[in-house]
Chains A and B, each alone.
Chain A
């Protein structure tokens, strides 16, 4: 048995472990034990953590756990999807003159653990293939490393859904991570663990409470519960295992209600090996009295209160950020090198890594040279002879697809006319979405009122979602214009990084009265708004300011000047007029 704790400390000589363990880290180590167990059928784990010593410590713990026969292989994000499966090795085939195959990455690593770094940037094709492999059980155990924080897009939804566990190491410090317990015994026969029916019901209820209804997640919960019980060497799973499993599956921390003694609750902090006798005792207790589920319920309520509903949903990949959709085929803004779309011609260089040469064009190119090349090699040429193809012959298709546009609405929801205005903005969004079926544009909505600006609708092209999110819109209060500008800017940047063309539309009278810190300070609010606008203008986002004031004053046109935006007054901004106006801009965009 290796003393990894000592080894990690040797790597980080100046760091003393903390006296108190960080539960997030304890949990992470348990997850490592579970995922490293080769009999665990769950398949995948999502690890949210930035690069750094904490992540490294976890990974090194994992690689010790899996022993010497297996190893942690990496699947880089730029892997050509074809490499996942058995495929013809073009170069080798040409050299050998017979088909030479390359075995796929997945097949080569069935026994190993496959590490997918930067999983949040995985291209859709790779995502689809991995998801399918997990479903077909042809994939090795996978770990998706995700460096995005909660605000950004995470692991593609299809993979988040198929991850049995979800860890977040953002709250773990280097000192926490210096604590590495000795390796426990490998998990033995987790399948034999009995999970009482009441426990299963409670777990199902609990997940539902957190907005998780997917059968895949429920099944993961069952498996993780079993694995945790197996680690404690008990034959029957108890409520503490279930709680631990809920935390691992959903990634939320459940807080034990204060003032109550819960020896069976919260991941036990003692090392696992001496826990044997204790847990048998606990087991005895569990048998003698019915499961105490009230504690779990209380924790669930606490967890729900702590987590805003949207956060709860987005974190498990159930809803919210539309990342899956957003990433589709937009990894590069450069549309000349598009991976999909209509063919626009041929080129001698691949537009992207892994592009398949256009066979016919290549053969056409090579054909006229055959006789000459054969003669150059001192052979005669006759029909039916093998072709001699050189590097110069390869031709690749160029594809072209039009840039997509994301229209970002920032709507002033303050003051008395807010409700009406929001209603019209909503109508306009629905009209635009209804129109963008074929064009595949996206629409987002930010409303600002009170202390800050809120993203009411993440960029989406789904009318269903828009209707759902826009069903109830808050209105009234002061005007945090500066925050609205900042938020729109961030969203626009994100859209651009996905290769979309953002288009900002502000419905405002240009008079903010809330500063960025949330305090009512007119002067600061104005200055900050102008600064934010200039910053936004520096990124050259096309934008439009619709002045909705009854009697337009210079504020809005000043803002437009700072933003380098087009300006128009539309005191009664109705949905139809707005959509026509915006449609004109958007259509122009797509043509250029």
Chain B
């Protein structure tokens, strides 16, 4: 699970995939957005992007050897490293990069939530808790490749923890509660099975990733990958400046986020949009509001504007639309239409968010 810094492809060097990169950065700036769901074909750089992101983000401070990634200021009770028994010294503080934990397909509930420490139970007859992947992912990312193939009960559990930021284990005679605040990133290929709508709804934002359309871009992808494979250190050094630029903008946006306001008229527009699209529940509206705030923070503005909503609506809403068997139009198109009517774009105007909508004729995954 531990990879060296130089083994990670620089985030800034990823060719294209702007929407994916933007979505990941947004989630990194405001983890309360909820998870990111990236649907698309294999080999489109989803895995690369998420790993790259973690390497780019500001490092976190933990105590050496802590398995829960405790915040040194408020360590969790169950952590034996941060709460040493007796008069022992606290281990020293170290800076590590934000963890990215891979969730293997077929991981058991024990492995995910943590379970009785078998080793100590058998060797010393001691009842101790062995933290699972959720603890490891605290203050970082939990990445699930092929989320649509994951067992339903594991997905339920993950989304539950991701939403509450606490992992509560009440089983096997254990009663443990520890924080697990992470950004959930799921990826998958919809052709291999879809997610249940209830689960789709729990992801904050969703995007569709496709292979670069032009040969030029694709060639660029392999060229960079090739340069990277040959000399990772040099390649990373070359992109370090660009990477730092992105990191600084993430830090700046995080700092600004608290002061971003959403005017009432924008909130009304958001509600109108969700009503128009028939998005059930309030989660859609909340996410869209948060996403718009992140968007304006990324733009270094303190006030959310309509354009922020227009830019982020497809990501925040397209996976929440109710499936209409008779409407073959992609969900992105439906969001687009609703945006048009809510924000009153004149008919002859160019599409509101040409940047994020799909070009006509591309395949739409999904949630139509």
Residues from chain B with Cβ under 8 Å of A585 in the complex: none
| Whole-angstrom CA separation of A280 from B325 in the bound complex | 62
A214 at the interface (CB under 8 A from B): yes
B192 lies within 8 A of A200 (CB): no
Which of B149, B193, B366 has the most CB atoms of chain A within a 10 A radius of its CB?
A: B193
Inter-chain contacts of B145 with A (CB < 8 A): 131-132
Complex interface bits, B85-120 against A, C-beta within 8 A gives 1, otherwise 0: 000000000000000001011101010000110110
Q: How far is the CB of A553 from chain B (nearest CB, A)?
A: 34
User: Of the 9-residue stretches B37-45, B275-283, B333-341, which lies at the interface with chain A?
Assistant: B37-45
B197 nearest CB neighbor, chain A only: A437
A158 close to B146 (CB less than 8 A): yes
Task: Determine how close the nearest CB of chain B comes to the CB of A235; give it in whole angstroms.
Answer: 16
Q: Is the CB of B211 within 8 A of A213?
A: yes
**99-149 of chain B: CB within 8 A of chain A:** 102, 104-106, 108, 110, 115-116, 118-119, 121-125, 145-146, 149
Q: Within the assembled complex, what's the spacing in Å between the Cα atoms of A34 and B203?
A: 43
Please tell me which one of the listed residues A97, A137, A204 contacts residue B218 in the complex, with CB atoms under 8 A apart: A204
CB contacts under 8 Å to B, within A383-397, are: 384-387, 389
Known: A81-B106, A124-B149. A467 touches B328 (CB 8 A): yes
In the complex, the answer to whether B123 meets A214 with C-beta atoms within 8 Å is no
Contact call A132/B104, Cβ cutoff below 8 A? yes
**A88-B118, A201-B219, A218-B221 known; A464 vs B365 contact (CB < 8 Å):** yes
Contact A125 to B223, CB < 8 A, known contacts A93-B119, A214-B211 = no
Shortest C-beta distance, A208 to chain B (Å), equals: 7
Interface residue? B191 (CB, 8 A): yes
A438 to B363, CA, bound (A): 26
Answer yes or no: B349 CB below 8 A from chain A CBs: no
Whether B230 is near chain A, meaning CB under 8 Å from some CB there, is yes
Expressed in whole angstroms, the minimum distance between the Cβ of B79 and any Cβ of chain A is 20
Q: Is B226 an interface residue (CB 8 A)?
A: yes
Cα A397 to Cα B317 in complex, Å, equals 41
- A363 at interface by CB-CB < 8 Å: yes
Interface membership of A1, Cβ < 8 A: no
A479 within 8 A of B: no
- In this assembly, does B47 line the interface, its C-beta being within 8 Å of a C-beta of chain A? yes
Q: Mark A324-352, 1 if CB is under 8 A from B, else 0.
A: 11001100000000001000000000000
**How far is it, in angstroms, between the C-alpha of A389 and the C-alpha of B173 when the chains are bound?**
19
Q: With A125-B104, A385-B125, A464-B194 as known contacts, state yes or no: A216 contacts B43, CB within 8 Å.
A: yes
Residue from the set A81, A197, A205, A359 with the largest chain B CB neighbour count within 10 Å: A359
The interface residues of chain A lying within 8 Å CB-to-CB of B345 are none
Complex alpha-carbon distance, A322 and B7, angstroms: 33
Q: Is B175 positioned at the interface, with any CB of A under 8 Å from its CB? A: no
With A324-B149, A340-B151, A464-B365 as known contacts, state yes or no: A215 contacts B45, CB within 8 Å. Answer: yes
Interface string of B37-57 (1 = CB under 8 A from A): 000011111010000000000
Measured in the bound complex, the distance between the Cα atoms of B363 and A131 in whole Å is: 27
Contact call A128/B365, Cβ cutoff below 8 A: no
A127 at the interface (CB under 8 A from B): yes
| Residues of chain B within 8 A of A389, CB atoms compared | 122
B196 — which chain A residues lie within 8 A by C-beta?
437-438
CA A221 – CA B225 in complex, angstroms?
Answer: 12
Contact B116 A359 (CB under 8 A): yes
B192:A325 contact, CB within 8 angstroms: yes
Q: Which of A90, A200, A360 contacts B172, CB < 8 Å?
A: A360
Complex CA–CA separation, A128 to B267 (angstroms): 43
Q: Let me know if B123 and A386 touch, CB within 8 A.
A: yes
Q: How far is the CA of A329 from the CA of B108 in the complex (A)?
A: 13
Bound CA span A460–B105, Å = 19
Complex: A322 Cα to B197 Cα, angstroms:
21
In the complex, B323 has a CB within 8 A of chain A? yes
Interface residues in B317-368 by Cβ distance below 8 A to A read 323, 325, 328, 363, 365-366
Contact residues in B for A460 (Cβ distance below 8 Å): 191, 193
Question: Counting CB contacts under 8 A, is B300 at the interface?
Answer: no
- Which residues of chain A come closer than 8 Å to B43, judged between CB atoms? 161, 213-218
B92 to chain A, nearest CB (A): 26
Q: How far is the CA of A356 from the CA of B44 in the complex (A)?
A: 36
Query: A396 → chain B, closest Cβ, in Å?
Result: 13
How far, in angstroms, from A463 to B323 measured CA to CA in the complex? Answer: 11
Interface residues of A in 183-202 (CB under 8 A from B): 191, 197, 200-201
Q: Are A93 and B122 in contact (CB under 8 A)?
A: yes
Known: A216-B43, A431-B325. A462 touches B193 (CB 8 A): yes
Are B221 and A215 within 8 A (Cβ)?
yes
A400 in contact (CB, < 8 A): no
User: Are B44's CB and A215's CB within 8 A?
Assistant: yes
Given the known inter-chain contacts A124-B105, A461-B193, please indicate yes or no for A219 contacting B149, CB distance below 8 A.
no
Q: Is A175 engaged at the interface, CB distance under 8 Å to the other chain?
A: no
Which residues A104-157 have CB closer than 8 A to chain B? Answer: 123-125, 127-129, 131-132, 135-137, 157
CA distance A214 to B210 in the complex (A): 10
Contacts A214-B43, A360-B172, A462-B194: A387 and B222 contacting too (C-beta < 8 A)? no
Chain B 185-197, CB within 8 Å of chain A: the 1/0 string? 0000011111011
Tally B residues with Cβ within 8 Å of A. 54
Q: Which residue of A lies closest to B215 (CB)?
A: A204
By the criterion CB–CB under 8 Å, are A384 and B218 in contact? no
For B146, the chain A residues whose CB sits under 8 A away are 128, 158
Contact residues, B256-285 vs A (CB, 8 A) = none
Is B119's CB under 8 angstroms from A88's CB? yes
Within the complex, which residue of B149, B223, B363 is in contact with A200, where a contact is CB–CB below 8 Å?
B223
Provide the residues of chain B in CB contact with A318, threshold 8 Å: 42
Among the listed B122, B149, B219, which residue makes an inter-chain contact with A94, where contact means beta carbons less than 8 Å apart? B122
Centre residue among B43, B323, B328 by max chain A CB count within 10 A: B43
Q: Report Cα–Cα, A430/B223, bound state, in Å.
A: 43
Closest chain-B Cβ to A154's Cβ sits at a distance in Å of 15
| With A132-B104, A201-B219 as contacts: A464 and B122 at CB distance below 8 Å | no
Q: How far is the CB of B158 from chain A (nearest CB, A)?
A: 16
A359 contacts B125, C-beta separation under 8 Å: no
Q: What mask results when residues 199 to 238 of chain A are scored 1 for a CB within 8 Å of chain B, else 0?
A: 0110011001000011111110110000000000000000
User: Which single residue of chain B is at the shortest CB-CB distance from A328?
Assistant: B149
B45 (CB) vs chain A CBs: closest residue: A215
- Interchain CA distance A50-B232 in the complex, whole Å: 40
CB neighbours (8 Å) of A379 from chain B are: none
CA distance A472 to B102 in the complex (A): 40
Against B, the Cβ 8 Å flags (1 = close, 0 = not) of A446-474 are 00000000000000111111011000000
Known: A161-B42, A359-B121. Contact between A462 and B104, CB under 8 A?
no
Tell me if A213 and B41 are in contact (CB < 8 A). Answer: yes
Interface residue B160 (Cβ < 8 Å from any Cβ of A) = no
| A463 in contact with B194 (CB, 8 Å) | yes
Q: How far is the CB of A218 from chain B (nearest CB, A)?
A: 5
Does A377 reach chain B (CB closer than 8 Å)?
A: no
* Complex: A97 Cα to B7 Cα, angstroms: 39
**Contact across chains for B119 and A99 when beta carbons are under 8 A apart:** yes
Residues in A neighbouring B118, C-beta threshold 8 A: 88, 90, 359
Separation of A324 and B110 alpha carbons in the complex (Å) = 24
Within 8 A of B (CB), among A349-391: 356, 359-360, 363, 384-387, 389
**Alpha-carbon distance between A491 and B317 when the two chains are bound, in angstroms:** 39
Asked if A214 contacts B105 (CB within 8 A), the reply is no
Sample (20) of A-B pairs whose CB atoms are under 8 Å apart: A90-B122, A93-B122, A99-B123, A127-B105, A132-B104, A132-B145, A135-B47, A204-B222, A215-B45, A218-B221, A222-B226, A319-B191, A324-B192, A329-B151, A340-B151, A360-B116, A360-B173, A385-B125, A464-B366, A468-B191
Of all A-B residue pairs in the complex, the 3 with the closest CB atoms, nearest first, are A214-B43, A125-B106, A128-B105
List 8 additional A-B contacts (Cβ < 8 Å) besides A218-B221, A340-B151.
A98-B123, A137-B7, A204-B215, A208-B215, A213-B211, A216-B42, A219-B225, A389-B122
Residues of B within 8 A of A (CB): 3, 7, 41-45, 47, 102, 104-106, 108, 110, 115-116, 118-119, 121-125, 145-146, 149, 151, 172-173, 190-194, 196-197, 211, 215-216, 218-219, 221-223, 225-226, 229-230, 323, 325, 328, 363, 365-366
